[in-house]
Amino acid sequence: MAGQTDHSLSIFSAAEVEFIAEDEMIEIVPNIRMDALNLLCGDFGPFLPQIPCTVPLWLAVALKKRGKCSIRTPDWMSVEKLTQVLEAERESPREFQPLPFHYVEISRLLLDHAHDDIPEVYMVRSLIEDIRNVRFHKVESGLETISGRTHAVKLKNLSAMEVNVVRPFMARVLQAFYKHDSPEMVQQADTSASKRPQVVDRGPRVSLSCVTC
Amino acid sequence: MGRLLKLREAHKTDAPATCSVLWAHDGSHLATSCASDTEVLIHDLSAPPPGRSGSTAGSSPVVLRHHKEGVTAIALGPMAGPLASGSFDHSVKLYNFPVGSFQGNVTRFTLPIKSLAFNKSGSLLAAAGDDDGIKLISTIDLTISRVLKGHRGPVTGLSFDPKHDYLASIDSFGTVIYWELSTGKQLHTLKSIAPNYNSDSSVLNTLSWRPDGEMLAVPGLRNDVVMYDRDTGEKLFNLRGDHEKSVCSFCWSPNGKYLATSGLDKQVLIWDVDLKQDIERQKFEERICGLSWKPVGNSLAVIDVVGRFGIWDNPVPVSMKSPTEGVVLNEPHPLFEDEDEEEVLGKGISCYSGSLDDSIEKGSGDFSPISRKRVKKRGPSFDEGEEVLQEIDSRKRRKESENKREDGEIRERAVRMQDAFQVGFTPPQQGKRRFLCYNLLGCVTSLENDGFSHVEVDFHDTGRGPRVPSMTDYFGFTMAALNEKGCVLANPCKGEKNMSTLMYRPFGSWANNSEWSMRFELEEVKVVALGKNWVAAVTSHNFLRIFTESGLQMHILSVNGPVVAAAGSGDLLAVVTHASDCLSSGDQVLEIKVFNINEATQTISGRLPLTPCSHLTWLGFSEDGRLGSFDSKGNLRVYSDQFGGSWLPVFSADKARKSEDENYWIVGFNATKLFCIVCKSPESYPSVMPKPVLTILEFSSPLASSDLGADEVENEFMMTNLQLSEIRKKIKDMEAFGLDVTALDDEAFSLEVKLDRCILKLIASCCHSDRLVRATELARLLSTQKSLKGAITIVTASKLPILQEKFSTILEERMLDDLKTPEPIPTGRSNGKTAYSVQPPVRLSPMMEKSPDLNNRTPNTIKPQIKPSPATETLKLVKARYSTPENLAQGEDISKERELGSKLEKVATFVKGKGNATSEVTGKDVSSSATGNVKPELKIPINPFARVKKAT
C-alpha cells in the first residue's frame, strides 16, 4: 500500500528529500591543501592532506567528484553495524532501529559517488537495501492495523524518506477516519477548508494531499 | 595433530565459569572446582571404577560442600599438604587432602576471592581477590602475616617464587607486581603487560614461575606467553605461535622444560620452552580454563569452562624428554625416585593410552575418524614422531628467529644504546608494504617481492605533488627521506657483495638522467636526510657526508659518536648522536647538533633531553623551522631560544591518551598542534593499507595541578606565551635583515590579543578563588590598555575594591609611560615592538591625547573621535583577521566591538604612520565592518542551492 503510494502525492519529491539530506555533516580526508571555505552555512576547513575534517555532504560529494578527497564512511555504514541493525529489525516486528534520519539518502549518495571509499561496498549496498525493505514492509504491515478508532499513529525512528512516502497516505487515512467518525466535524472541516484556501505555490499535489486541516 | 580428548562432567554449570584442576603430588588424586559450583571434588584415580572403561576418575569423588557460593580458586600445599579453597562467599577454607576432611576457615575477605597460592614449603598461603590487598597467611597458626597492597584491580593470579624470595601477582588490568617476601615491598610493577580483562570477569589473568624460579610466565598482549626475568623483571622472550586469541591459562611441566598453554581460541598447546616452539596441540569444544601437569609421568589434566575435565596422556611426544625428567623433588618419593624414568614413562603409556585406545575401539562418539587414524598412525614408531618434529622445526624456525630478533631489540632498548633509525619508518613485515619514510608531505613505501623490492613515492597532496613512477629496487633500500624536490634512498650493507648504496631521485629536472647514486666501501649508511638543495648521509664511520642535489660531494664532517637519527628541512640539518654509553638507569645519553648547510655554520649544539628510560623515536622540523623530538614515552619537546636555548616539553601522550590502548606515531607538528597517526595497541606503528589518517592533537604543557582549577586556560596561557616569544624572536631576526615584517607583526598582534583574553580568564578565576596577588601579577602582563580596563571591569563585577584600585594604578602607570615614549603603537609593553622606533613618529592616537578619567570605568567616555576615511588595503586585511568572534572572559561586560575597534584604530594609526596616508577610521566604522564576514573564496563551483540554503 504505502510502498505503492504515488510519489507525486508526497510533499517532497525524492530528489528534494535528498537535497535536504545533503546538509548532513560527514567526515572527509582531503588529499589537497586548501584554505578554509567561508560559506553561508558555515566555515569549513582549512583542508590539509590526510587530515580529516567535517563538511556537509554536498561539499564532500563535490570534492569527491573532483578527486580531491576520500569520504570516511560513517560508523553506522559498516557491515558489522548494518548486520546488527538488520538482525534487530527482523527480530522486532513492531519497532524501528535507530538509524540516521537521512540514512537512505546518505547511503545512496555515498554508494553513488564514493563507492571506492566504502569497505565491502557490495555487502553494504545489499544490507542497506535489505534494511530498507524490511522497514518499508514494517510500515506497510503497520498501516494495515489502522482502524476506525485510530486517531494517531506513533512511529519512532522512522527516517525522512520513509516518512515522506507514507505521510500523505497516512494523513489522509487518519483524516478520513476522523471525518467519518464525527459527522459534525465533516461540516466544520468543510467550511474551514473552503474558508482557508491552501497554499498555492506548492503546486497542485499539495492541495491534493491536504484535503482538510 | 590433535585427537579429541574425552572430557567428563564433574561440575554442573549453567554458564561458562572458571574452573580449576589440581593434581595430588603423587598423581593419585585430582581436585577440581568450579566458580559456579559450591563443591570441591577430589577424584581418586588409583581405583578404577567398575564397569566403566576409559574413564579417568574414580566412581565417586569425595565431595566437599563447605562453601555457600561458587569456588573460584583452589590450591594445594606440597607433599600431601592441605587443600585450600577460596570462594565467592569471601572465605578461604582448608581441608585435609586427599581425605577431604574439613580443617577450618582460614580467613574472610570482604569481597570474593579470586586466587590462592601456597609457597613451596607450604608455610604460607597467599589469597587475593576483589579486595584491596593480597593476604599472606601463615598455615601453621592461620594468622595473617602480611597484607600486600598495590593492585588497583581484582587480583586474579598469584605465584610464589620457588626460591621463596618473591611473590608475583597479576590483576585483571594486566598489571604484574613482583613483591619481595622479606619486606613486603613492591620490587617491580609491570603495567598493562597482560590482557585487560577488567570488563570480562569470565577470564582470569594468571601467571606462573618456572619451577626453577628463573623466569615468570605471563600471558602477553599478542596471543603469546611472555617470560620475565626473575630479578630484573625484564622481558626475556615470548612464546608466540598458533594461538589465535589470548592465552588465558598455562602450567609449567614439573621440570620446567615444557609449558602447557590454553587460549581463548579453545586450543591447548604444549611448548618446548627452550626451543620456544609448540610441539603439540589439541582443540577442545570449550575453552580450557584449568591445566595441571601430573607431577609424575607424562599427563596433563585439563578442565573446561563448563566444568568438564579430562586427562591428556602423553601431551609431550614420547620421543621427547619427559616433562618430569630432571625434577628435583623436595622429599624423596619411594616409588619413583629410584626408578628409571623410561620405565615410569612406559608404564604411564601402557596404562593410560591403553585405556584410551579401548574406548576408541568401542566407538565412542567423541572421537572423530580423523583423530582415530592419527592416534593409530602416531602410536607405533618413534621415527615418525621425529619426522613430525622436524617438520614443526622447519615451520617454526623462521618465527623463532623473528622472536629472537624482537627480544634482542627489546633487551637492547632497555640496557644498551639505541640503534640508528630513520625518521618516519616502520619495521619490515613479511609480505606487507611498509613505510621507508612517512612525513607530512608524503611517503615512500616499499614491498619486498622475490629478492627485490618495489619502491613507491606518494604525496598526500595529490594536486600539488609530482607523480613519481614506482621503482624496482635491487639494492634493498631500508632508509628514505622525502621532500618536494626529490627523495633519497639508502640500504645497509649486507655482506661483501651488497655494499651500502645511497641513491637520490629528483622528481623534476631539466636534464635527463639526473638520478645519482653513491657506493660506500667498508662503510655503511646509517641515516639519511634531505634539505633544500642538499642530501646528507651519516655513516657507520661517524662521517656526515653532504652532497648537493646533483650529486657533488660537498662536505664530509665527523660527528661525535654513533648516529641515532637525522632530520633535514630547508637549510637546517639536525643530527643526533650518542654521547656516551647508557647510564645505569637505562637513560640514553644523546647529543644533538644542528647545522646550517648552506652557510656552513652550526646553530645548535648540546644534549638532547629524553624522558627517563626512554629512547628517541622521532626527530624533525616543523613547517616554520622549529626543531622537535619525540621519545618512546610519548613526550614531544620543542627547541626554543628561551633561556639561551632549551627544550620545552609541550606534549605528553599520557595526558592526551583517551584510552589505554592508543599509541601515537608522530608525523610532525606545527606551532600549536601535533600531527600523529593513532595506532591501536598492540600495533605501535601504522600499516600502509588502509591509508593512515592523521590525527591532530593540541599541545599541552605538563602543568602541575594548581589551585585555580583553570588548567586549560593556564595551558593556553603557557602555549600562547611560547608562540608569542617565537614570533617576536622571528620579527627581531627579520628586522636585523631589514625584511618586511608586517605579516608577522599582524600575527604577533593577534597572539597578543589571544594572550590578553587568556589572562583575563585567568584573572577571573583568580578572583573566584581569591588569589589577589596573582591577579595583580596577571594584570601587569596584559599588553593593551583595553584589556586592562576589561580586567578592572571583572574585578568590579566580582566586588573586589582592593584589586580595582591596584589595577587602576597599573593602568595609570601604563598611560603615563605611553605619554613619555611616543611610539607608533601605543601598547604598554615595548618588548618586540622596539623595532618600530625607527618609524617616523606619528601623532598619538586621540585616545592617548585624551587623558581618561580613571574613576569612570565605563569605557564609553573614551570613545575615539576620528573622522571616517577609506581604509587601506592593509586595514582590510587586519579587519579580516579580526572578523572571528571573540569570546571574552566571563563576567566581562565591555563590548567586544569596542575593544576591537580600539585595537584596529591603533593599527590604523600605525598604517597611517607607515604609509603617510591620512586614513582615519572611527571606531564605529571598524566595528561594523569587523563583524562582517570575509568574502568567501570558493574555488570550485558547487551546488548553488546549498550555498544559500543555510544562513549563518
The band of B47, judged by pLDDT with boundaries at 50, 70 and 90, is low
Cell numbers found for residue B306: 563448563
Query: What per-residue confidence (pLDDT) applies to B863?
Result: 41
Cβ count near B754 (within 10 Å): 17
pLDDT computed for residue B204 by the predictor: 82
Q: Do B943 and A29 touch (CB under 8 A)?
A: no
Q: Confidence class of residue B280 from pLDDT cuts 50, 70 and 90?
A: confident
Position B557 confidence tier, pLDDT thresholds 50, 70, 90: very high
Are A33 and B463 a contacting pair at CB < 8 A?
yes
Q: Which residue has the cell 620457588?
A: B162
Q: Confidence class of residue B345 from pLDDT cuts 50, 70 and 90? A: very low
Q: Is B818 left (phi over 0), alpha (psi -120 to 50) or beta?
A: alpha
Distance (Å) of CA B746 to CA A26, B151, B699: 34, 54, 23
Return the percentage of chain B with pLDDT > 70, whole number: 74
Residue type, position B151, single letter: H
Q: Which residues in chain A have Cβ-Cβ distances shorter than 8 Å to B696?
A: 51
Residues of A in CB contact (< 8 Å) with B are 19, 22-23, 29, 31-35, 37-42, 49-52, 56, 58-59, 62-63, 66-68, 70, 72, 119
Q: Which helix (H) or strand (E) holds B676?
A: strand B673-680
What pLDDT does B950 receive?
44
pLDDT digits (tens, 9 = 90+) for B605-623: 999 999 988 889 999 999 8
Residue of chain A whose Cα is closest to the Cα of B458: A31
DSSP string, B278-330: EEEEEE-SS-EEEEEE-SSSSEEEEEETTSEEEEEE-SS-TTSPPTTTT---S
- Nearest alpha carbon to residue B807 among B767, B751, B845: B767
Give the type of residue at B614: S
For B42, phi then psi, to 5°, come to: -120, 115
Once rounded to an integer, what is the mean pLDDT over residues A147-171? 80
Which of B462, B696, B942 is opposite residue A59, by nearest beta carbon? B942
pLDDT band at B882 (very low <50, low <70, confident <90, very high): very low
B636: which strand partners? B630, B651
For B367-399, the DSSP string reads S-HHHHHHHHHHSS-HHHHHHHHHHHHHHHHHH
> Has residue B401 got a pLDDT over 80?
no
Q: In the block, which residue shows the cell 632497555?
A: B414
**Nine-digit cell string for B649:** 616539553
> Residue B327 — pLDDT band, cuts 50, 70, 90?
low
Selecting from B694, B936, B948 the residue whose C-beta is nearest the C-beta of A38 gives B936
What's the one-letter identity of residue B666?
Answer: I
What would the mean pLDDT of B159-168 be, rounded to a whole number? 87
Residue of A nearest to B696 (CA): A51
pLDDT digits (tens, 9 = 90+) for B562-585: 999 999 999 999 999 999 888 888
**Among the listed residues B18, B19, B3, the one whose alpha carbon sits nearest the alpha carbon of residue B284:** B3
pLDDT tens digits, residue range B96-153?
Answer: 887 888 888 888 888 888 888 888 888 888 998 888 888 888 887 888 888 888 888 8
- What's the grid cell of residue B288? 580450557
Q: What pLDDT is attached to residue A84?
A: 92
Share of chain B above pLDDT 90, in %: 14
Question: Which pTM does this prediction carry?
Answer: 0.53
Nearest CA in chain B to A19: B946
- Most confident range (mean pLDDT) of B81-90, B527-536, B699-708 is B527-536
Write down the pLDDT at residue A131.
Answer: 93
Distance from CA of B607 to the nearest CA of A (A): 33
HEC states along chain A? CCCCCCHHHCCCCHHHHHHHHCCCEEEEEECCCECCEEECCEEECCECCCCCEEEEHHHHHHHHHCCCEEECCCHHHCHHHHHHHHHHHHHCCCCCCCCCCCHHHHHHHHHHHCHHHCCCHHHHHHHHHHHHHHHHHHHHHHHHCCCCCCCCCCCCCCCHHHHHHHHHHHHHHHHHHHHHHCHHHHHHHHHHHHHCCCCCCCCHHHHHHCCCC
Mean pLDDT within B927-946:
43
Residue by residue, DSSP assigns B712-760 as HHHHHHHHHHHHHHHHHHHHHHHHHTT---HHHHHHHHHHHHHHHHHHH
pLDDT at B567: 94
Q: Is B357 left (phi over 0), alpha (psi -120 to 50) or beta?
A: alpha
B341 pLDDT above the threshold of 50 = no
Whether B375 has a pLDDT exceeding 80, the answer reads no
pLDDT tens, position by position, B412-442 = 444 578 889 999 989 888 788 889 999 988 9
**Quick count: other Cβ atoms within 10 Å of Cβ B182?**
9
Contact B950 A23 (CB under 8 A): yes
User: For B92, what's the count of Cα atoms within 13 Å in the CB-facing half-sphere?
Assistant: 33
> What is the average pLDDT across A42-47?
88
> Could you tell me the pLDDT band of residue B59, with boundaries at 50, 70 and 90?
low
Least confident of B24-28, B270-274, B341-345, B388-392: B341-345
pLDDT at B32: 87
Q: Which of B672, B674, B677, B952 to mutate to test the interface with A (most CBs of A within 10 A)?
A: B952
CB contact under 8 A, A58 and B951: no
Query: Lowest-confidence range among B151-165, B174-188, B359-373, B890-904?
Result: B359-373
Rounded CA-CA distance B874/B923 in Å is 17
Determine which helix (DSSP H) or strand (DSSP E) holds B155, and give its type and residue range. Answer: strand B155-160
Contacts of B110 (CB under 8 A, 6+ apart): B90, B131
Return d(Cα B560, Cα B566) in angstroms, integer.
Answer: 13
Closest chain A C-alpha to B677 CA, distance in angstroms: 10
Amino acid at residue number B633: K
Query: What is the spatial distance between Cα B896 and Cα B126, in angstroms, rounded to a whole number?
Result: 67
pLDDT (average), residues B918-932: 40
Mean pLDDT, rounded, of chain B? 76
Residue B331: pLDDT over 70: no
In whole angstroms, give the CA distance from residue B539 to residue B528.
9
Asked which of A85-94, A150-159, A162-171, B650-659 is least confident by mean pLDDT, the reply is A150-159
Lowest mean pLDDT among B297-306, B728-737, B745-754, B867-876: B867-876
The pLDDT assigned to B26 comes to 80
Query: Could you give the ipTM of this predicted complex?
Result: 0.70
Residues paired with residue B312 on neighbouring β-strands, in sequence order: B300
Q: Which of A82-86, A147-151, B639-643, B838-842 has the least mean pLDDT?
A: B838-842
Q: Using omega within 30 degrees of 0 as the cis cutoff, is the peptide bond preceding B466 cis?
A: no
Please, are residues B281 and B270 in contact by the beta-carbon 8 Å criterion? Answer: yes
Highest mean pLDDT among B396-400, B491-495, B580-584: B580-584
Give phi and psi for B203, each to the nearest 5. Answer: -110, 130
What pLDDT is attached to residue A56? 94
Nearest CA in chain A to B443: A50
- Report how far residue B660's alpha carbon sits from residue B881's, in angstroms, rounded to the nearest whole number: 40
- CB proximity list for B368: less than 8 A, separation 6 or greater: B4
Query: Do B849 and B822 touch, CB atoms closer than 8 A?
Result: no
Does B321 have pLDDT greater than 60?
Answer: yes
Of B460, B464, B946, the CB nearest to A50: B460
Rounded CA gap, B613 and B633, in Å? Answer: 8
- B630 vs B835: CA distance, rounded Å: 35
Residue B682: cis peptide before it, omega within 30 degrees of 0: yes
Residues found in chain B: 952
pLDDT of residue A125: 93
> What is the distance between the alpha carbons of residues B44 and B145, in angstroms, rounded to a whole number?
34
The residues, ordered by sequence, that sit 6+ positions from B772 with a Cβ below 8 Å of its Cβ are B766, B800, B802, B803
